[in-house]
Amino acid sequence: MPSVSLVPHALPSPGDSPPPASRPRQQLGSACEECRRKKSRCDRKQPTCGACFNGGIVCVMRSSCPPRGPKKGHMRELRGQIAALEARLNNHESGAAMRTSPNFDQSQRGSSTDTGANDEIRSDGDVDVRMSTSTSPPKSTMTPGLADMTVLTDPDTQQMSLLPMTNVYGSFTTQPLKPLSIGANLSPLVCTDLDQLYFDRVHQFCPMIQKFRYMPWSKLIGRSKQKICLQHAMWTMAAATSSQFQLIRDQLYRETRQLLDALDMDNLEGGKWHLEQVQAWALLSIYELTAGDTQRGLISAGRAFRLAQLMKLHEVDRPNAANGMSDWVEVETMRRTFWVVYTIDCFTSINEGLPLTFDEQVICARLPAPEGHFMSGRSITMPFLSKVMETADSTSLDEDTSMSSFADSVIVATICGRTLMHRQRANQGQPCSEKFVHEFSQRHQLLDRLLSAQVKRLAVQVSSMSQNPDPMLIFIMMNAYMTVLMLYETVNAVTTEASRPLLLEYKQQSLEAARELGGLATMLTQLNHFQIHPLSPIPLLLSARCCQAHRNVCTTYDTLMSMIQPLLQGLGNVNNLARNGLRVLGLEPLPGSNGWPSPRAHWDGMGWDDSTM
């Protein structure tokens, strides 16, 4: 047995030469399974190592080992690459003009917002893909083997596939690409948020879509083109009523226009018109009127009007109508779609002084049902518009019939349309003829009775909402009082000696309407900008025109004018109709804050003087 020396070797002195290179501490080859399990040192002898031989254990050695897992931080870098690439692919349209230029500066493409990509990675490792304006490829911080590859995610299958990075970004810089659809790349959470925004803020003004019928098909992959167009129009309007989505609303609008135009081209080839197209054009026209070009909005509204006529929506309740539908909710949806475009026609026509598109005499559609019945699907029979307009006293309706705010807006819109026609006929007739005076007086008195009955009935509802203003009811009442002012303007323009007493009577009514408009203006300031009816600047503008026509004649008109101007300025931050109204009135923006004005100061500081007649 060889002797083992227990005497430690002497330590080398600093001056001694270095010892010869010793064999490595780790022997070549892999340790056996038993030594790996015990984490002990294996001498790697074949066929059995020393530890297994001494323990009487079968020694198992593997010729190859499975590859080790990713290094720490490797998956985080990969997620960062995915997030940055998806954000740039979804928003590359903002840099499309730069990418189409063959002389695009390489240095600009090299400068990317890496910090933005890092911020999108949360501490728990989840990726939050947000909108980004950068169009340059992300800088690679991965290993050389993965630096030339990028990971794309299929939104339908959620499977990742590897594509060469050079091919992806080469297409960005060498040839123009067709813009990607932002609507198709919105996350499910954003889509749900936009849907909820629509039914919270837009539906109360355009109540033509049944929420519980919309929700099931809104998430289907194979939904029709018409439904996709309607969904994009809904998202566009929802984005316009929220400061959170202001950056994507214009792109959503452009895509909606492209989809609707393409759908119209398909219909020219013998396709069938669908209700969703009418609804989409109606929503798009409101967006263009309030957030885009007013003239284009009127043209888009005209397309919705004609489509409604082609689909015979104004005859949906005709006894011999061949609609072949027994579903009450579906029929009510058609009614409501027609009444939405009908009210748009009345209010925009009176604002622009244009002829009406729909003839009230040929409409055979019942008034819209209350909102609770529409959402729950409980059928109810509502009266026809012609029956309501036959009498000046709306209380003659059945006591069991409850009129919704939407139905009230249809009635007031009809009165506005009649007032517009009454004014147009007055401007074209001969004021001195006896026949003209007789017909004018009959029309005027009928409108006065209709309007007085509606104002009296709606004023009760307004008086009970001082703590919780209803935007729809405020809009209806503003149009009613605006119509009173327009009737006074009309009778004042054709006054004769015989109609002098009538003029004094209507002037007193106009003063009372001006006071009530001041109260409604105060209620408007209690609402959020996005809660107000998008067409609210129309009655404010027309009322301001009447006040300007009687400037310095009565302080009541001057007081109302001083309240309307700051209201239009406040609405002008989010509504193009208000900005156009200030321009038409020749008014300069008031200095001060960009938020809501304080009409209460005008209300308290200026008296309603009726002494000047």
Nearest to 532 by CA among 566, 568, 563, 562: 568
Q: Which amino acid is it at 215? A: M
- End-to-end CA separation in angstroms for the chain: 135
pLDDT in tens, 542-552: 999 999 888 87
Radius of gyration, alpha carbons of the chain: 37
Other Cβ atoms less than 10 A from the Cβ of 546: the count is 22
The answer to whether 315 touches 599, Cβ cutoff 8 Å, is no
- pLDDT on residue 264: 86
The answer to whether 503 touches 485, Cβ cutoff 8 Å, is no
- pLDDT on residue 67: 65
Domain boundaries, the chain: 29-62, 74-168, 188-311, 462-471+481-613
pLDDT in tens, 559-603: 999 899 999 999 988 999 999 999 999 887 665 545 555 544 444
Q: Which residues pair with 162 in a beta bridge?
A: 151
The fraction of the chain above a pLDDT of 90, given in percent, is 41
Residues 6+ apart with CB under 8 A from 451: 415, 480, 483, 484, 487
Q: Which residues pair with 151 in a beta bridge?
A: 162
Element (H, E) at 164: strand 160-164
Can you tell me whether residue 451 is helix, strand or coil? helix
Return the minimum-mean-pLDDT range out of 105-119, 330-344, 581-595: 105-119
- pLDDT on residue 400: 43
Residues 6+ apart with CB under 8 A from 443: 418, 422, 425
- pLDDT on residue 413: 96
Tokens of 596: 């809501």
The answer to whether 68 touches 75, Cβ cutoff 8 Å, is no
Q: Which one of 81-90, 469-478, 601-610 scores highest in mean pLDDT?
A: 469-478
Average pLDDT of the segment spanning 419-439: 81
φ, ψ dihedrals at 269, nearest 5°? -90, 20
Q: Which residue has the higher pLDDT, 65 or 417?
A: 417
| CATH domain 29-62 topology | CD2-Gal4 (4.10.240)
Return the minimum-mean-pLDDT range out of 58-62, 208-212, 299-303, 509-513: 58-62
- pLDDT on residue 563: 92
Residue identified by tokens 């700051």 is 566
Residues 6+ apart with CB under 8 A from 557: 514, 546, 547, 550, 551
Sign, CA dihedral 551-552-555-558, equals positive
Tokens of 92: 């590359």
Q: Which residue has the higher pLDDT, 164 or 25?
A: 25
- pLDDT on residue 117: 39
C-alpha 370/C-alpha 332 separation (Å) is 11
